[in-house]
Amino acid sequence: MAHHQVNGKIVVTTPTGRVGSRVLRLLLQAGARPTVLLRDPDKLDAATRERVDLVRGDQGDVEAVLEATRGADRLFWVDPPTPDEDPIAGHARMGANAARAVQENEIAHTVFLSSVGAEKRHGVGEIDGLARTEQALDATGANVLHLRCGYFFTNLLMDADSLREGVLSTTWPLDSAIPWVDPRDIGDVAAVRLLAGNWSGSVVQAVHGPKDLSFSQVAKVLGRALGRPVRAERVSDDQVRAALRSAGSSQGQVEGVVGMAAGMRENFVPEQERGVLTTTPTTLAAWAHAHLLPAL
Ligand SMILES: NC(=O)c1ccc[n+]([C@@H]2O[C@H](COP(=O)([O-])OP(=O)(O)OC[C@H]3O[C@@H](n4cnc5c(N)ncnc54)[C@H](OP(=O)(O)O)[C@@H]3O)[C@@H](O)[C@H]2O)c1
């Protein structure tokens, strides 16, 4: 079968990540041959490896980012989790590499995985770093699309131990509803936007999942999916700080996590309203049944 490039050269970062892996699969299914930037090509299955152009490298290494994106028309950029003691600076460092690549390689369209809360710019913990990346990409003057995503269902996998005991703990007020989303559905939105490449300037699109849920509602949904009672329990920022510190997190990393909820749980209204363009289909119940139940 003859292969044609779909919409020029498309570069995908974090192709082994939750969102990036979905983006990559859909681009392959659309008939594209994407270029992927990743640290360890062996983490891709052999059938996928054959269908992509590989650049091995770290996103913190600007030369690797520039090499992967040379001649690119489209870029899917994720700020990867940073090992930096200050995660905000870490994200900003990664974002600066993305912006430099967009500028030097004249990449026409970039989709960036951002977060609800980035519109505040400051005071939302680690999300401040995503805001810095949004700003760096905006400053290039290229066409950039920021996907401001809700709270990933997959964050619940980090709470597996506590959920096994029937407790969902959070620093959010238990009855305040926020958007919860399956990262796979974010990959769907990112892939169609990359393929369409039909926007100009800087555009924000939110990805909100099927509905806003409070932690009390989430606990009920999980209880049904897991077949055992789960109760939501409010904990203080200091309790979370102590737990993260004892798990070895640096001061900056601790504040990066605590600051996300602290910056959004009082009087915060997301800039993007829920609507047809932001609502994605996978329900928490379906996700929990498929992914959380087997993990517990
Ligand atoms: N969790 C949430 O609720 C939420 C909400 C909104 C936005 N976000 C944002 O979503 C992003 C994470 O997306 P995700 O969950 O899809 O990712 P993920 O599943 O955690 O995967 C991380 C990916 O980053 C790669 N990676 C890590 N460090 C790297 C480096 N230095 N250079 C190159 N690649 C590197 C990993 O590759 P390897 O295979 O090499 O490890 C992996 O592919 C973050 O920017 C986060 O801020 C999260």
Confidence of residue 4 (pLDDT cuts 50, 70, 90): low
Ligand 1 centroid–CA 1 distance in Å is 34
273: three-class secondary structure by DSSP: coil
Percentage of the chain modeled with pLDDT above 70 = 98
Please give the pLDDT value at position 25.
98
Please give the pLDDT value at position 293.
95
Strands of the sheet containing 178-181, edge to edge, are 151-152, 178-181, 212-213
Confidence of residue 6 (pLDDT cuts 50, 70, 90): low
Q: Convert 115-151 to b/e letters by CB count within 10 Å (16 or more is b).
A: bbbbbbeeebbbbbbbbbbbebbeebebbbbbbbbbb
Q: Which residues line ligand 1 (CB under 6 A)?
A: 14, 16-20, 38-40, 43, 58-60, 78-81, 113, 115, 130, 149, 151-152, 155, 183
Query: DSSP letter string over 84-120?
Result: SSSHHHHHHHHHHHHHHHHHHTT-SEEEEEEETTGGG
Q: What is the pLDDT of residues 195-230, one digit of tens each?
A: 999 999 999 999 999 999 999 999 999 999 999 999
Q: What is the pLDDT of residues 174-199, one digit of tens each?
A: 999 999 999 999 999 999 999 999 99
Rounded Cα distance between 290 and 103, Å, is 41
Please give the pLDDT value at position 82.
85
Rounded Cα distance between 260 and 116, Å, is 10
| Average pLDDT of the residues of the chain | 96
**For residue 1, pLDDT beyond 90:** no
Q: What is the pLDDT of residues 85-111, one digit of tens each?
A: 999 999 999 999 999 999 999 999 999
In 40-184, which ranges are E strands? 53-56, 74-77, 109-115, 143-149, 151-152, 167-170, 178-181
Ligand 1 centroid–CA 14 distance in Å is 6
The answer to whether the CB of 212 falls within 8 A of the CB of 179 is yes
Q: CATH assignment of 10-152+181-208+269-280?
A: 3.40.50.720
**For residue 5, pLDDT beyond 70:** no
Ligand 1 centroid–CA 79 distance in Å is 7
- 39 CA closest ligand 1 atom index: 40
| H helix or E strand, kind and range, residue 72 | none
| H helix or E strand, kind and range, residue 157 | none
Phi then psi for residue 234, to 5 deg, are -85, 130
**For residue 257, pLDDT beyond 60:** yes
Confidence of residue 124 (pLDDT cuts 50, 70, 90): very high
Please give the pLDDT value at position 83.
82
- Looking at per-residue confidence, does 267 or 240 come out higher? 240
Q: What is the pLDDT of residues 70-87, one digit of tens each?
A: 999 999 999 999 888 999
Confidence of residue 267 (pLDDT cuts 50, 70, 90): confident
